[in-house]
């Protein structure tokens, strides 16, 4: 073919420039002058350049990615010369070795035992469905395997002796899909630590268990009471799940799953002698109900609770679950009904979506006189340094997220772990780099939400659709609609 025309060369160059700009752009919000409100994004100016995805293990081309970095911190001084904790970063562990034939065999056997348990767990034309539990190197079991066929009853097994004999600290994660956030933390390298993953979708559980991303897997959904329900593979809960689910959406495929309260899971799989360090929930808007289903006795055991929520109006087109509580409502329920204390939030990927962390009343910072106010003031100082470009957050060691959280989370390892699971900007080996927001009333991105809504209301020809316009005017006023012709 002949040389491209000048017009074609210009178009290609423009397209390349747009793609490069999109890749370089990072939606990291920057703190406002008062250290609380998110105002504008930062760009990734990390001199090391773009990094790989956050998922540990082989990528799609088979190359092995580095494992999540262990941000071990030693805090020498609670104040430090700069008004924030002094900390040092440990060296990174060597990259993980490529998967071997033995690893592949283990993965396949894990998936096979999970598949076998599915058939046993479903009885009487799926009118009776029981949870599936997988633990350590043991085969997965249907919890109704030893129950009479005449009943729909089932019983969760206790923590396997091989795990319980050395267990010291547990993390429970509800709504994991294929990749638990707690799998990023390298719990296998910590003596006595383990994670419990809970997810209702069978395909996701099969992959998760086969890849060894959890010490314990409970294939079920969490609800206030026992029961069963069908989960649509086209639902929002599986919108980022497996390729198989994507193929099944067009066929309207459904999958039955057992329901049970979180209290049962914690009571059986986190023995009293084990410390419940973290409860992490991503239930697509129903996180509050999941947390409260733990009951007062079991919920009190967790040092930290992290939920995902959105701070958007119910009728906004980007609100993924209009009937669920927004962040403000979730925080109110967890503090009044759950006895928890709100600490802070970090931005997630969707519009006005956040991961928010709560602590117990006897938390050291919460229980100290003026502890929360002092910590938040110190965080504001650090955030102002970043906003005024006196500090580059991409070069902070330890990371920007960790340095902020250290003012509210006194234990160094906790600050590392919470930053890693809460910050969507974390991907290996780049550190978690999200601003931390400490005010619930600063979560609503009103200007961004209103602009998007107004644009959605406009028809290709003519003015805004009348009903949509009425909703925008109710929430945002007329300014955004009036500016569009």
CB-based contacts of 435, cutoff 8 Å, min separation 6:
28, 29, 30, 31, 38, 346, 347, 383, 386, 400, 401, 404
Backbone angles phi, psi at 276, to 5 degrees: -90, 100
- With cut-offs at 50, 70 and 90, classify the pLDDT of residue 200: very high
pLDDT band, residue 350 (cuts 50/70/90): confident
- pLDDT tens for 257-294 read 999 999 999 999 999 999 999 999 999 888 999 999 99
Q: Around Cβ 448, how many Cβ atoms within 10 Å?
A: 14
For residues 391 and 468, membership in a common domain is answered with no
Going by pLDDT thresholds of 50, 70 and 90, the confidence category of residue 100 is low
Residue 6 lies in a domain: no
Cis peptide before 398 (omega within 30 of 0): yes
Instruction: Please report whether residue 295 resides in a domain.
Output: no
State whether 440 and 452 are in the same domain.
no
Say whether both 454 and 438 belong to one domain. no
Please give the tally of structural domains in the chain: 2
| Whether residue 451 sits in one domain with residue 412 | no
Phi then psi for residue 254, to 5 deg, are -130, 160
Decide if 132 is inside a domain: no
Alpha carbon 434 to its chain's center: 13
- What's the alpha-carbon Rg for the chain, to the nearest Å? 24
Same domain, yes or no: 339 and 435: yes
What pLDDT does 56 receive? Answer: 30
Q: Residue 459: what pLDDT?
A: 61
Q: Are residues 470 and 418 in the same domain?
A: no
CA angle 66, 71, 73 (to 5 degrees): 160
Which residues form the domain of 324? 19-91+303-444
Is the per-residue pLDDT at 300 higher than 70? yes
473 and 392 in a common domain: no
Query: What is the distance between the alpha carbons of residues 125 and 127, in angstroms, rounded to a whole number?
Result: 5
- Does residue 424 share a domain with residue 312? yes
Co-location of 318 and 344 in the same domain: yes
pLDDT one-digit tens code per residue, 419-456: 999 998 776 677 888 999 999 999 998 998 998 888 88
- 25 plus 40 within the same structural domain: yes
Q: Does residue 418 lie in a domain region? A: yes
Residue with tokens 């206030």: 224
Residue 222 main-chain phi, psi, to 5 deg: -90, 135
**CA nearest neighbour of 213 among 179, 239, 244:** 179
434 lies in a domain? Answer: yes
Asked whether residue 40 is assigned to any structural domain, the reply reads yes
Could you tell me if 437 and 451 lie in one domain? no
Question: Domain for residue 433, yes or no?
Answer: yes
**Quick one: 312 and 431 in the same domain?**
yes
Q: Which two tokens stand for residue 161?
A: 């002796």
Model confidence pLDDT, tens digit, residues 23-53: 333 333 333 333 333 333 333 333 333 332 2
- Note whether residue 352 is domain-resident: yes
């Amino acid at each position: 073919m002949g040389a491209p025309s000048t017009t074609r060369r210009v178009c290609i160059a423009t397209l390349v420039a747009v793609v490069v700009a999109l890749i370089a752009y990072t939606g990291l919000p920057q703190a406002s002058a008062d250290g609380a409100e998110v105002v504008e994004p930062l760009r990734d100016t990390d001199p090391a350049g773009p990094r790989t995805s956050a998922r540990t293990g082989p990528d799609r081309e088979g190359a092995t990615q580095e494992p999540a970095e262990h941000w071990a911190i030693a805090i020498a001084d609670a104040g430090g010369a700069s008004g924030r904790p002094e900390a040092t970063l440990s060296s990174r562990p060597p990259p993980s070795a490529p998967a071997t034939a033995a690893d592949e065999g283990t993965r396949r056997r894990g998936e096979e035992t999970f598949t076998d348990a599915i058939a046993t767990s479903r009885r009487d034309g799926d009118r009776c469905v029981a949870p599936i539990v997988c633990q350590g190197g043991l085969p997965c079991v249907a919890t109704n395997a030893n129950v009479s066929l005449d009943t729909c009853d089932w019983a969760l097994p206790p923590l396997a002796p091989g795990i319980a004999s050395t267990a010291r600290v547990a993390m429970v994660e509800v709504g994991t899909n294929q990749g638990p956030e707690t799998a990023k933390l390298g719990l296998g390298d910590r003596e006595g630590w383990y994670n419990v993953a809970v997810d209702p979708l069978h395909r996701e559980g099969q992959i998760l268990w086969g890849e060894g991303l959890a010490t314990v897997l409970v294939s079920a959904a969490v609800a206030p009471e026992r029961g069963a329900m069908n989960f649509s593979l086209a639902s929002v809960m599986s919108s980022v799940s497996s390729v198989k689910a994507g193929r099944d959406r067009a066929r309207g495929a459904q999958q039955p799953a057992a329901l049970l309260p979180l209290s049962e899971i914690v009571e059986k799989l986190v023995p009293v002698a084990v410390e419940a360090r973290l409860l992490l929930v991503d239930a697509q808007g129903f996180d509050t109900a999941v947390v409260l289903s733990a009951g007062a006795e079991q919920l009190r055991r967790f040092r930290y609770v992290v939920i995902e929520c959105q701070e958007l109006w119910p009728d906004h087109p980007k609100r993924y679950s209009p009937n669920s509580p927004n962040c403000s409502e979730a925080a109110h329920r967890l503090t009044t009904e759950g006895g928890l204390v709100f600490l802070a939030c970090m931005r997630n990927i969707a519009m006005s979506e956040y991961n928010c962390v709560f602590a117990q009343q006897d938390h050291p910072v919460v229980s100290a006189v003026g502890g929360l106010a002092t910590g938040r003031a110190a965080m504001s100082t650090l955030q102002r340094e970043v906003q005024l470009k006196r500090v580059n957050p991409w070069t902070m060691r330890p990371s920007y997220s960790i340095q902020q959280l250290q003012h509210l989370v006194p234990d160094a390892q906790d600050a590392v772990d919470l930053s890693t699971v809460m910050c969507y900007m974390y991907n290996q080996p780049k550190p978690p780099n999200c601003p931390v927001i400490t005010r619930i009333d600063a979560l609503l991105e009103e200007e961004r939400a209103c602009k998007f809504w107004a644009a959605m209301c406009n028809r290709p020809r003519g003015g805004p659709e009348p009903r949509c316009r009425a909703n925008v005017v109710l929430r945002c006023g007329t300014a955004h609609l009036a500016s569009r012709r």
